[in-house]
Amino acid sequence: MARMRAVDAAVLILEKEGATQTFGLPGAAINPFYSAMRQHGGIKHVLARHVEAASHMAEGYTRATHGNIGVCVGTSGPAGTDMVTGLYSASADSIPILCITGQAPVAKLHKEDFQAVDITAIAKPVTKWAVTVLEPGQVPGVFQKAFQVMREGRPGPVLIDLPIDVQLSEIEFDPDTYEPLPAHLPAATRKQAEKALTMMTGAQRPLIVAGGGVINADAAELLVELAEVTGVPVVPTLMGWGAIPDDHPLMAGMVGLQTAHRYGNATMLASDFVLGIGNRWANRHTGGVGTYTRGRTFVHIDIEPTQIGRVFAPDFGIVSDARAALEQLVGVAHAWRAEGRLPDRTTWAGACAERKRTLLRRTNFDNVPVKPQRVYQEMNTAFGPDTRYVSTIGLSQIQAAQMLHVYKPRHWINAGQAGPLGWTVPATLGVATAAPDATVVALSGDYDFQFLIEELAVGAQFNIPYIHVVVNNSYLGLIRQSQRGFDMDYCVQLSFDNVNSPEVGGYGVDHVKVVEGLGCKAIRVFDPDSLLPAFEQAKKLIVEHRVPVVVEAFLKRVTNVSMGTELDNVVEFEPLAEAPDDAPTAAAVG
């Protein structure tokens, strides 16, 4: 046994749990924790410029790794409240992050002490567990339980709030005998797998919908195996994108109102059975539940029991971790194929593949200012299958999902449900910290980019290289397009005449100057033929300078992006690609 400050025990437990990367910034109430990180040396720290950013960095970090949990750290009061958006984003997308806050001394909590806020109460709805530790002796147990809670069942964030006197109190703690607690994951039974596959084999036009649960469970290979053994095409959700490579013959396209392929929606509407796994029937995926479910039978597999039936009642529900369920399903499918009990799906899979070959959106536009479709076409050419894309919300996210290609799990990292503007820069810094050898490419509209732009200094300081593509339409594009009948276009343009930078032509902020001022590199692109050379140059610059490199494309100011309110009424603003040259990169290649 060893006697140490409770905060030293906390840091040693982080190490034992493998959570060795923190993002944050200090303040009086959390300074003991910083001293413990310094003393023990096993924990790395990246200094954010805004505490909200630290929480998004932690999320990006977790999402790029296989099981390592990102940690964000801040002081009492406003630091905790700043991180609430990050907790919401992580909880909405089922991502574990650990948020550690400092707090006023226990005896002062009810005295309106300086920066004493009830962060536990504030964080409760957006965490799996939020706790203010009042007894120093509980610190080891609280940290131990936090990791168990984050890992078991539906993953999600935990907040631990540490009053400064609790951090400083001495306790007995033996790091040598510390063991992480087991994390229970429910598992499908053979009988359940047999019933699901009986329903699937009885259908004529079945699909598998694969959600983020498949990615979280690191079960993409099993998913592809199930598709291949049964011959059933797969629709990844926005959170599941990458679980099956875009160029796999059984990748049927994404489905939804916005972040979807034309061929994906057409295939969903033609189907008669859906096995959803690790997904939650998000409304941007389903649209109206009536259109989505009509004429279809559903099996829903999810790790969280209360998710089954939340959006609509499936015909059969299974509570299971995605990996455990896929293991059972693959086992049964192999056995049944050997016995000749699986139907031949060639005709149905062929029809899905034909839609994927023919229902392509046009991307090859030569317009100046640039049409956004062309940006994604050139990104497909410049960035290979190992690229990790990061994005949050806006027309850029929507068109990226419609037009980019993703080939691997954890290579499309997107704030799918909460979509907080400002997420992209810090989350990408987290991703690039976790995967320092990967080509990491972020994508933002100009507003998302401006939200937490100061974080680029973190990339410059800590040498976290990545490429940030900014599609600048000088407007809140998505909001303009989704006015939904409200005449809300009131003082919401981002454009203005910048007296210091006439060269940005009324687009407002001179991003190049800002980016360079923060210690990063930037390239400005006005015409479509300069996009590819700019991306190629950016690839060289990140190697040469080891800092974020921004490529800013000046877009046509008003663009319309395909979207709708139901799966069968998505509005297309351009004709289909008719010749291969209309959309040269639309068909995915390996």
- How far is it, in rounded angstroms, from Cα 223 to Cα 20? 31
Considering only CA atoms, which of 275, 325, 281, 320 is closest in space to residue 300?
Answer: 275
Smallest distance, ligand TPP to C-beta of residue 492, A:
8
Considering beta carbons, is residue 207 or 257 the nearer one to ligand TPP?
Answer: 257
Smallest distance, ligand TPP to C-beta of residue 426, A:
13
Considering beta carbons, is residue 70 or 416 the nearer one to ligand TPP?
Answer: 416
Give the HSE-up count for residue 373: Cα atoms under 13 Å, Cβ half-sphere: 22
Considering beta carbons, is residue 412 or 447 the nearer one to ligand TPP?
Answer: 447
Footprint on this chain of ligand TPP (rule: CB under 6 A): 393-396, 419-421, 445-448, 473, 475-479
Tell me the sheet residues that pair with 563. 571
Smallest distance, ligand TPP to C-beta of residue 85, A:
7
Considering beta carbons, is residue 32 or 419 the nearer one to ligand TPP?
Answer: 419
Q: Which residue's entry shows tokens 């609509």?
A: 312
CB 461 within 8 A of CB 429: no
- How far is it, in rounded angstroms, from Cα 268 to Cα 355? 11
Closest-by-Cβ residue to ligand TPP is 445
Smallest distance, ligand TPP to C-beta of residue 494, A:
7
- How far is it, in rounded angstroms, from Cα 16 to Cα 36? 15
Smallest distance, ligand TPP to C-beta of residue 447, A:
3
Angle, nearest 10°, between helix axes 6-16 and 139-151?
30
Helix (H) or strand (E) segment spanning residue 411: none
Residues 6+ positions from 103 with CB-CB distance below 8 Å: 29, 76, 109, 116, 119, 132, 161, 162, 163, 164, 166
Considering beta carbons, is residue 24 or 419 the nearer one to ligand TPP?
Answer: 419
Helices (H), 109-232: 119-123, 139-151, 164-168, 190-201, 212-216, 220-230
Considering beta carbons, is residue 123 or 301 the nearer one to ligand TPP?
Answer: 123
Q: Which residue's entry shows tokens 């936090």?
A: 146
**H helix count then E strand count, the chain:** 24, 19
- How far is it, in rounded angstroms, from Cα 225 to Cα 402? 25
Smallest distance, ligand TPP to C-beta of residue 490, A:
13
Residue 102: φ, ψ to 5°: -80, 165
Considering beta carbons, is residue 173 or 449 the nearer one to ligand TPP?
Answer: 449
Considering beta carbons, is residue 463 or 483 the nearer one to ligand TPP?
Answer: 483
Smallest distance, ligand TPP to C-beta of residue 74, A:
19
Considering beta carbons, is residue 297 or 472 the nearer one to ligand TPP?
Answer: 472
Smallest distance, ligand TPP to C-beta of residue 563, A:
11
Strand order in the sheet with 440-445: 412-414, 388-391, 440-445, 467-472, 549-554, 521-525
